[in-house]
Structure 1
Amino acid sequence: MKLDDAAAHLEALGNPTRLKIYRTLIRAGAAGLPVGRLQDKLKIAPSTLSHHIKALVVVGLVTQIRDATTLVCHANYAVMQGLVDFLVAECCADAEGKDSKTAA
């Protein structure tokens, strides 16, 4: 994942309402949730919910599929895994070993 993409994903998740939406979709699993059920669960006004879902869709964290008249939202697990992998890819890469001594 590129740095700019990771920053865009983190920026989208940096809003408390969008983070609640995303966590709810993660908990819903592969089946996702219809927008109406998402609204009922989170008690968010329809226009506000739509605005926040759009921000998550734009950066690829959420996908939407229309099933007849119902719009179902799904967390994009591949993008989420890519973001997590990006964040931990270089974990402790610059950490000094236990035997290293620093100059005083």
Structure 2
Amino acid sequence: MESSAAILAFAALAQPTRLDVFRLLMEHEPDGLPAGEIARRLDVPHNTMSTHLATLTRAGLIDAERQSRSIVYRSRLEAVRALMSFLVKDCCGGRPEICAPLIADLSPCCPPQILVAREAARD
């Protein structure tokens, strides 16, 4: 990941509502949520939510897919992985024993093969 893409992603997440949206979508992987449901759950007006969703989409953190009359949003797990890798790429000067606890904290919910399978199923 290039620095400019990481900065764009961090800028998108540096706003409370957008951070809440992103975390909500991560919670609802792999199914995602319709835009109206996201707005309802976070108690944000629909037009305001549209702006936040567009910002997250432009930053490459989420994708939108039309399903009938709804637009369903999902997190882009590959973008999350790239962003996390960008942050820890040169972790601890190449001394894995120092970085091991940090890396372990990044994978508390799912082993990596499950994430890869989810991404493959989505494509």
- TM-score interval for Structure 1 and Structure 2 normalised by the shorter chain: 0.7 to 0.9
- The 3-state SS of whatever aligns with 1:31 is coil
Where do 1:1-104 residues align within 5 Å? Answer: 1-93=1-93
Shift of 1:94: 8.0
- Higher-RCO chain (CA-CA 8 Å, sequence separation at least 6): 1
What is the rounded CA distance, in whole Å, between the counterparts of 2:54 and 2:89 in structure 1?
Answer: 29
Shift of 1:70: 0.7
Structure number with greater Rg is 1
What residue in structure 1 maps to residue 121 of structure 2? none
What is the rounded CA distance, in whole Å, between the counterparts of 1:88 and 1:49 in structure 2?
Answer: 31
What is the rounded CA distance, in whole Å, between the counterparts of 1:47 and 1:36 in structure 2?
Answer: 10
- The 3-state SS of whatever aligns with 2:9 is helix
What is the rounded CA distance, in whole Å, between the counterparts of 1:13 and 1:80 in structure 2?
Answer: 12
- The 3-state SS of whatever aligns with 2:44 is coil
Structure 1 regions of 5+ residues with no counterpart? 96-104
- The 3-state SS of whatever aligns with 1:86 is helix
Give % identity: 31
Structure 2 regions of 5+ residues with no counterpart? 96-123
Structure 1 outlier segments of 4+, above 6 Å = none
**Counterpart amino acid of 1:57?**
T
Cα deviation digits, residues 37-79 of structure 1 (max 9, x gap): 1111100011110000000001110100000101100000000
TM-score of the superposed pair, with normalisation by structure 1: 0.87
What is the rounded CA distance, in whole Å, between the counterparts of 1:92 and 1:37 in structure 2?
Answer: 41
Aligned residue pairs total: 95
TM-score of the superposed pair, with normalisation by structure 2: 0.74
